[in-house]
Amino acid sequence: MPHDPHALAPGVLELLTERHLATLTTLRADGSPHVVPVGVTYDAATATARVITSGTSAKVGHVRAGRQRVAVCQVDGRRWVTLEGTAVVRDDPDSVADAVQRYARRYRQPRENPARVVIEISVDRILGNA
């Protein structure tokens, strides 16, 4: 599979729209990986992945502390895809509402969370087999 996030095979796009959880890997201050399950959405037109979460989560703290290189990995049997990129935390209402709508389309309407933010990932590399 190509590394270019704008040159995705149809199977990869399909995998990224099916209802599967993924893992998000961020880096702790000591450089060790912090891996947690997440729901993720991917916008192929802009090569942007989004993860909604609480603003108090460790993953948000890692990104806000400047450790912005992250990876999201989704596996379904022999099919898998990893999205790598640079993350930012967005907490403005428009960005959060957009991310919630995307999440609801792929998974379900999330529960209310007044502390919700979105980790927005500018994907610059995609690896996988789908």
Fold of 10-129: Pnp Oxidase; Chain A (2.30.110)
Average pLDDT for 20-34: 97
The pLDDT, as a whole number, for residue 6 is 58
Closest CA to 53 of 13, 102, 100, 106: 100
The pLDDT, as a whole number, for residue 2 is 46
Q: Is the pLDDT of residue 35 over 70?
A: yes
Domain positions in the chain are: 10-129
Q: 3-state SS of 68-111?
A: CEEEEEEEECCEEEEEEEEEEEECCHHHHHHHHHHHHHHCCCCC
The pLDDT, as a whole number, for residue 1 is 45
64-120 pLDDT per residue, tens: 999 999 999 999 999 999 999 999 999 999 999 999 999 999 999 999 999 999 999
Higher confidence at residue 58 or residue 4?
A: 58
